[in-house]
Every structure is written in structure tokens, then in C-alpha cells.
Amino acid sequence: MASKGVDRFISRADELRRAEEDVQHNAFLTATAKWAERGPQAVSKARWEREAKSAVQELNVASAELKARRRARLQEYYASLEAQYDRELNEMGFAFRRERF
């Protein structure tokens, strides 16, 4: 049979062990809660970054398309000016010879 001092020591050791387990469990719950709170923020940040990258890509594609359209319109315009100039020269009786390579 153990003495009262030994029984108190054992019960105090059990109490401290349970308290340590509770502290570890609370730390785990705190870490889990922080992770759960950061989850939606990380998702929304990732979504925002993805949408921003997509918007930049769309602007680049639109800019390239606009440049191509402007270039084509300018070529059409210069071709029409050239045709008009040729007609005016022909109406005045001048010949204009073009050699294209």
C-alpha cells in the first residue's frame, strides 16, 4: 500500500499530463482555425491574381488584333489613294509606268 504522498504525486502527475494534452489539443485547434480562416483569403487572392493575369492577356490579344485591323485599313486606304492617283493621271493623259518586283 502506497503512502498518501505517493498517491498525491501520481494524481498530480496525471493532472499535469491531462493539462498538457489539453494545451496541445487547444494549440492544434487554434492552428486549424487559423488555417480555415486563411483558406478563403488565399482562394480569393489566387482568383484575383488569375483574373488579373487573364485580363492582361485579353488586353494583349485585343491590342494585337487592333493593330492588325489598323494596318489592313491603312493598306486599303493607301491602295485606294494610289488607284485614284492613277485614274487622275490617266484622265489627264499621262501614263505612269510601275514596275513591281
pLDDT tops 80 at residue 3: yes
CA distances from 41 to 11, 21, 57, 76, 85 (A): 46, 31, 24, 52, 65
Distance CA 95, CA 1 (A): 132
In SS3 terms, the chain reads as: CCCHHHHHHHHHHHHHHHHHHHHHHHHHHHHHHHHHHHHHHHHHHHHHHHHHHHHHHHHHHHHHHHHHHHHHHHHHHHHHHHHHHHHHHHHCCCCCCCCCC
Residues 32-62 pLDDT 10s: 988 888 877 777 888 888 999 999 999 999 9
Reported as a pLDDT band with limits 50, 70 and 90, residue 22 is very high
Largest CA distance in the chain: 135
